[in-house]
Copies of this chain bind each other. A is one copy, B any other.
Amino acid sequence: MMPASPPDWKKLGKVNALLQRVPDALRGAARTRKFEDGEILYRRGDKAADVICVLAGELLLTRASRAGTAVIVQRVRDGFIAEASLDSKSYHCDIAAGGDGELLAFPITAFLHALQNDMAFHSAWSRQLAREVRRLRAQCERLSLNSVAERICHFIEVEGEGGEVMLGQSRKSWAAELGISHEALYRALRRMQDDGVLVVDGARLRLPGNYILP
């Protein structure tokens, strides 16, 4: 297990806006920790000890399936994981590393204490959760579409502004977010450009609508 150490709060605001709102008392209790690919950080059934924010890399919530293989329940990059552990006495899943990375761990008792005693922090926490719910519902809706082109359009319409979006990631990882193979994504982008449905300019994607909405 990698060593835990106190975080550098100046850098953390860039990862997640909520981290700027963490009260001093809770900051003192938080610890950063690097992790390595495959490492299991917390185990199902263990007493829930920490609320975790992924700073770099990827964490997986997994369960052993009846067949013995691991079922990935959740996959989180750049955000909080296992928020639900605030509710329960123990973790419902294993928390494993999907690649090297770094996390920020808040002891649950300190976190709950901060929520109870700092109304501004509690409000920021609720708003953060509400935004996450909205983002995830849109993501589910997108993954329910059954063609690559539809998912691309949905992404641009919903995540972008005015039929235009700037990609903040490689196309390969975008393909993973869209739930498709990267080959299928490249081909669909090409076809859509040929059909004049899409304009690609580096990281900037635009759907040239035929009219402007009021």
Contact = CB atoms under 8 A, between A and B. Distances in A.
Interface of A: 61, 63-68, 71-76, 82-84, 86-87, 115-116, 119, 122-123, 125-127, 129-134, 136-141, 143-144, 146, 153-154, 157-158, 163, 179, 207-211, 213
State the oligomeric state as a number of copies.
2
B87 A131 contact: yes
Nearest to A72: B141
Given A67-B210, A68-B211, A84-B131, 15 more contacts: A61-B137, A63-B157, A65-B157, A67-B209, A71-B154, A74-B134, A83-B133, A84-B133, A115-B123, A125-B126, A129-B129, A133-B133, A136-B137, A136-B140, A143-B144
B71 A158 contact: yes
Contacts of A146: 179
A104 B81 CA distance: 31
A161 to B, nearest CB: 11
17 contacts: A66-B208, A66-B210, A67-B153, A75-B137, A84-B130, A84-B131, A86-B127, A87-B127, A116-B123, A126-B126, A129-B129, A129-B132, A129-B133, A136-B137, A136-B140, A143-B143, A144-B179
Given A71-B153, A133-B136, A143-B179, A207 B66 contact: yes
A144 B141 CA distance: 12
A134 B143 CA distance: 17
